Amino acid sequence: MTGSGAARFTMTDDEPAPGLWLIGIGPGDLDHMTERARSVARGCSKRYLEGYTAVLPQREEERLESVIGPWERLMRDKVEKPAELLASARSKAVALLVVGDPMQATTHIDLEARCAEQGIGFYVIPGLSVTALAVSLSGMQSYRFGRQVTLPFAVGDYLPTSPLEILCNNFESGLHSLVLLDLDPTGMGVERPRPMSPAEAVGLLEKMVERLEGGEDGLRASLERPVREWSGILLSDLGTKQERVLSGHLGDLAELRGGTVHAFVLPTEFNGLEEEAFERRRIGG
């Protein structure tokens, strides 16, 4: 890239140009990493794994050096305050490896803006995202999804209800919801993430409903049923050999054990073949 400041998503020469390369490595199994991603990562002078917006299974971390060469982990402080990272990228090709697809996170869009401001090359190699996998594997029609939601951990007494409001809006608009479960109970992004369990997620949704019940506007019509009676699809460890996709009531899904990284799809009224797809995924079906 010369001077436009825009992210480059196209193929480039075999030798990576100086600049910051955001490289998607797929959702959890390095076998999903494209040959282009592997080649560019190996060609970069430095390689960092972004370690707080997503998590790579331990066994895949142990494989990573054999796939792309030596690497270091960068946590939130070094990514959100990237002076050292960008200084290296001024004269060398530097890879920031991102689990999933790199431009899904606001943090990474900010890196593009910083590179543009400072005249540093910025390149993106997309990767397979959990978002795409979740929608595809849920059996629900992709055009019927509304706004995506991330369900955060509570921090002390603070628990926002805005995620629940988004779910209500989607439901009342006849749209399914993809709910990504948070990875970091501290919210600081300085330690290896501890993903939220399905049971924790259901408990947090119940607390959000309780807070809305006590609010001025009262309970939304879409929340008249208890949370544990909502229909849902649990998607665990997508893109790995441990992948699991199961449907049922949230109360039953909350009782399931095992898995590491989870998401829910909360369907609205079924359309066409969606109900049959839901039943095929039902627990014990």
Same domain, 184 and 262: yes
| Domain extent at residue 50 | 19-128
Same domain, 97 and 108: yes
Q: Which 8-state DSSP code applies to residue 261?
A: S
Same domain, 203 and 68: no
Domain stops at, among 62, 97, 128: 128
Domain stops at, among 94, 128, 162: 128
Instruction: Give the model's pLDDT for residue 10.
Output: 42
| pLDDT at residue 191 is higher than 70 | no
Report if residue 47 sits inside a domain. yes
Q: Tell me the mean pLDDT in the region 169-186.
A: 90
Cα of 70 vs its chain's centroid, Å: 25
pTM for the complete prediction?
0.88
What CATH number does residue 246 fall under?
A: 3.30.950.10
Instruction: Give the model's pLDDT for residue 6.
Output: 46
Domain stops at, among 128, 163, 184: 128
Report if residue 12 sits inside a domain. no
Number of domains in the chain: 2
| pLDDT at residue 188 is higher than 70 | no
Strands (E), the chain: 19-24, 46-50, 72-74, 93-98, 122-125, 149-151, 177-181, 231-236, 244-249, 262-266
Q: Tell me the mean pLDDT in the region 197-222.
A: 81
Q: Which of 1-5, 32-36, 238-242 has the lowest mean pLDDT?
A: 1-5
The pLDDT tens digits for 115-162 are 999 999 999 999 999 999 999 999 999 999 999 999 999 888 888 899
